[in-house]
Structure 1
């Protein structure tokens, strides 16, 4: 039985209550459980036990992170979660420090990861799809969604996890297409998650 750690990275604001994040998580968990995956959940803005969270990463075959894009990155509550949990796991549980050895201190930075699983990031963003991969849109200046998420990809890589294809729902505040997003999400989870683990 495959084991999936589902992390809710939402941070509550009066204009962003977390309903969409919960909807995506509920859909994903329903699909995972339908395939008889074992699921554990974490909500980064709620109280958590750091050691228990480290153990969840050790337990999981796959980590699924659902988060809004918040100031071009993850929310502050999920950043705090990473600071707490990833730091606690860094010296011998999730990684052997930064991967370098005394005899070669200039080599293999970031390659000390001890995990052998995968991860998927699913993001809801206010930016339209057309803002990415498009040099004529000067704010992002042609970068992709995964370029924007590079710090998160590197954080997971630090611990040895390998990426599954990222999912993005776009323009969720100014021009939402939630039914279409959920249909795309369901297809994405089936094709890029369930069939690949």
Structure 2
């Protein structure tokens, strides 16, 4: 039985209601709970949570699926707070032991003290920016991908904890030009291809 922990990093704030990520979160839960062979736990960072319980979910899971909108080219503040609280709670308690270095040779092995080795993660992001803002010459992101640009630090954070990236899926132009049914259909196909 594969154990999947699904996190909704979106939450309402100002003009962002978090609706798309809520739909995506619920679609992911439904997808896995409707099939045999999966057990699911989930958290919405906009709800009350206990950091100790969240650490246990990370330790329990085989696969973590993160859903997050991007606000001002970063994680939403509620999601960042969640990561800070949960990963700090997980220090020497299942998420990471240390930064991996030794005092004898502190120049090497940084980032190798993670305790979640053998576990994987999927990241989805949702953007107002169109895909072309990342791919076309002369456009805003200078032909730098989401994963190699804005989300590079997020991926390194997961690697620091010992997690291996399984896959990513990015939703573009959600605010001004979204075809949500088509996006969800493509996403379900992505899940079927990514998660065995």
Root-mean-square deviation (CA, aligned residues, Å) is 1.3
When normalised by structure 1's length, the TM-score is 0.93
1:109 corresponds in structure 2 to 110
| Structure 2: gaps spanning 5 or more residues | none
Report runs of 4+ in structure 1 exceeding 6 Å deviation: none
Shift of 1:95: 1.1
Relative distance call for 1:69 and 1:184 in structure 2 (3 A) is same
When normalised by structure 2's length, the TM-score is 0.94
Alpha-carbon separation, structure 1, partners of 2:185 and 2:127: 17
Shift of 1:135: 2.6
Total equivalences in the alignment: 193
CA contact (8 A) 1:134 1:143 kept: no
2:131 corresponds in structure 1 to 129
Q: Secondary structure, in 3 states, of the residue corresponding to 1:52?
A: helix
Matched, 1:167 2:169: yes
1:77 corresponds in structure 2 to 78
Shift of 1:13: 2.3
Listed as ranges, the matches of 1:23-38 within 5 Å are 23-36=23-36, 37-38=38-39
1:143 corresponds in structure 2 to 144
For each residue in 1:54-75, what CA deviation from the matched residue of structure 2 results, as whole angstroms up to 9, or x when unmatched? 1111001010011101111211
Alpha-carbon separation, structure 1, partners of 2:74 and 2:137: 21
Alpha-carbon separation, structure 2, partners of 1:159 and 1:9: 18
1:18 corresponds in structure 2 to 18
1:67 corresponds in structure 2 to 68
